[in-house]
Chain A
Amino acid sequence: MLLIECPWCGPRDEHEFHCGGQSHIQRPGPAESVSDAQWAGYLFDRLNPRGAHAERWVHQYGCGRWFNMVRDTTTHQILAIYQMHEPCPVPSDKGAGL
């Protein structure tokens, strides 16, 4: 069970939140110069690291706002919480995307 610090509402139970998956995914462009392989990578490929993972969360049953979280996927420990427009504060072994 996670206790998640919503940037606007403070610490709340994990039930109130929904995880929206990997964060910082950039849409490639301009569209006419993007190959099928690049689109596939953008749409489907995920970092899925064993360790620190930057992901988007929404306080679905609270304020309804999105934020970013870095969480360790082996321990579930929350390493950082930051705003959607901020860069990831935690370096990762996987480099790209984080």
Chain B
Amino acid sequence: MKSRYSVWKLIKEGLGGHTGWGPAWRNAAPKASYDVLIIGGGGHGLATAYYLAKNHGIHNVAVLEKGWIGGGNTGRNTTVIRSNYYYPASARLYDFSVSLYERLHKELNYNVMFSQRGIITLAHSRHDVEAATRWVGAMNCNGVATKMMSVPDIARRVPFLDVSATARFPVLGGFIQEKAGTARHDAVAWGYARAADTLGIDIIQNCEVTGFKRAADGRVTGVETSRGVIGCKKVGMAVAGSSTVLADLAGFRLPVTSYALQAFVSEPVKPVIDTVVLSLATGSYISQSDKGGLVIGGALDHYPSYAQRGNMPVARNVLGAIAEQYPALARVRFLRQWAGIVDVVPDSSPIIGTTPVPGLFMNCGWGTGGFKAIPAGGTLLAHHIATGAPHALAEPFSLERFTTGALIDEAAASGIAH
């Protein structure tokens, strides 16, 4: 049993030269078989394993990660957590996730640095304002508290935003979700990994899945990996942009296209922005990390990609938009740029539940917004794997919706360009 992290432990270790911390999780070698295998050691996969043990008492579980924990999209996003979605099914799902994030540090005994600093969405035209008013109405009906902001409200909250009449992207108003915020993305992966490990789950890194073992009736009985064959009763996959690659191995098709989504971090500067600001006109958004770096994101790259690096044309658009809207930042230098491979589906809503292969469950399709949904995605996939039936929140998000036509089209309605 690992010791709890606390201020007393910190003081004790500080006095003792920090020699007694120990690793946060074991570097497990694969056993011959498990009850459940989770493919993908990102936030969603680790959370699924954790909730399998915590909520359903299934401890004989391994998480298989082809690289290292949190080295995929969990470590490649802009850390925004929000639930300002339009449709009731989405609002319930993402608001559930935000509520889990609010107590995640206690749940995991790990400081994920969730800071509910709010997200402001800027409207730049009369049509943007009308659309924003409609979204705010719908969100409040769905129980997600948001409110409209006037231009003076916005100027007070974001003083370095150009709201002048001559601005290239004039600001006519906007809306805010106060409960939204940012968290430390690595900490979410590490916190779930540590908590899952404490509950007896094996976290196996550098273990790429290369095939599925199937019984005569088609059921999954194990996976082939770069570290040998591992048997199992059930498999859950949470691999974001690589979902199609695994679906190909299992022999079914997905409505998923993989794209690179870029993000940028500047050199640390003094505090200039205490919220997240998203522009509807440009799709670019900005926040500031606790270290002082400006964290900037924008639209998807323009064509399908599995290369975890962004392309110049989109970088130029995103950063050009930020420089126009925040002229004081035009000469700030960048430290880092990266891209994650996101799994975009036609209605920009996730797919959670069964696959055409018996015993294989999946969690994918979060597209550009998977980080905010990690606790919910893990809870819902674990529920489905453990009980064999979808959680009430996950029911609308089955793969079957593409056949029945019951799409949940959040493409333009969540206040962000997907």
Q: Are B248's CB and A73's CB within 8 A? A: no
Decide if B142 is an interface residue (CB 8 Å cutoff): no
Whether A76 pairs with B305 at a CB distance below 8 angstroms is yes
* Whole-angstrom CA separation of A82 from B292 in the bound complex: 49
- Give min CB distance, B260 to chain A, whole Å: 10
Chain A residues with CB under 8 A of B402? 40, 43-45
Let me know if A11 is at the binding interface, CB within 8 A: no
Name the B residues within 8 Å of A73 (CB-CB): 258, 304-307
A46→B345 CA distance, assembly (Å) = 10
A84 within 8 A of B: no
Question: How would residues 20 to 44 of chain A score, 1 for a CB under 8 Å from any chain B CB and 0 otherwise?
Answer: 0110000000000000110111011
Which one of B244, B245, B305, B403 contacts A40 once the chains associate, using CB atoms below 8 Å? B403
Contact indicator A50/B253 (Cβ below 8 Å) = no
A55 vs B88: C-alpha distance when bound (angstroms): 35
Distance of A44 Cα from B402 Cα, bound (Å): 7
- Contact in complex: A18, B302 (CB < 8 Å): yes
Give the secondary structure class of A's interface. mixed
Interface residues of A in 26-84 (CB under 8 A from B): 36-37, 39-41, 43-50, 53, 55, 71, 73-76
Contacts A1-B313, A15-B313, A37-B403 given; does A46 touch B256 at CB 8 Å: yes
Q: Assuming the A-B contacts A15-B313, A21-B257, are A49 and B303 also in contact, with contact meaning beta carbons closer than 8 angstroms in the complex?
A: no
Please measure, in the bound complex, the distance between the C-alpha atom of A94 and the C-alpha atom of B403, giving whole angstroms. 23
Judge whether B155 is part of the interface by a CB distance below 8 angstroms. no
User: Are A41 and B253 in contact (CB-based, < 8 A)?
Assistant: yes
Given A46-B256, A48-B254, A49-B244, also A1-B305 (CB < 8 A): no
CB distance from B239 to the nearest CB of A (A): 12
A77→B304 CA distance, assembly (Å): 12
Contact of B255 among A21, A44, A76 (CB under 8 A): A44
Assess whether A74 is in contact with B253, with CB atoms less than 8 Å apart: no
- Check A45/B253 contact, CB under 8 A, given A15-B313, A36-B403: yes
A41 to B403, CA, bound (A): 8
* 306-364 of chain B: CB within 8 A of chain A: 306-307, 311-313, 345-346
B313 pairs with A14, CB closer than 8 A = yes
CB <8 Å contact, A74 and B313? no
Measured CB to CB, the nearest residue on chain B to A21 is: B257
A contact residues around B307 at 8 Å (CB): 73-76
CB contacts (< 8 Å) of A94 on chain B: these are 248
Flag whether B166 is at the interface (Cβ < 8 A).
no
The 10 closest A-B pairs by CB, nearest first: A44-B255, A19-B303, A45-B253, A48-B244, A40-B403, A50-B306, A40-B402, A44-B402, A1-B312, A73-B306
Chain A positions within 8 Å of B, measured between CB atoms, are 1-2, 14-15, 18-19, 21-22, 36-37, 39-41, 43-50, 53, 55, 71, 73-76, 94
Enumerate 6 A-B pairs (CB-CB under 8 Å) in ascending A order: A14-B311, A15-B313, A44-B345, A46-B257, A50-B245, A74-B307
Known: A37-B403, A46-B244, A73-B258. 18 other contacts (CB 8 A): A1-B312, A1-B313, A14-B313, A18-B302, A19-B304, A21-B304, A39-B403, A44-B346, A45-B254, A46-B253, A46-B256, A48-B256, A48-B258, A48-B304, A71-B303, A73-B305, A76-B305, A76-B311
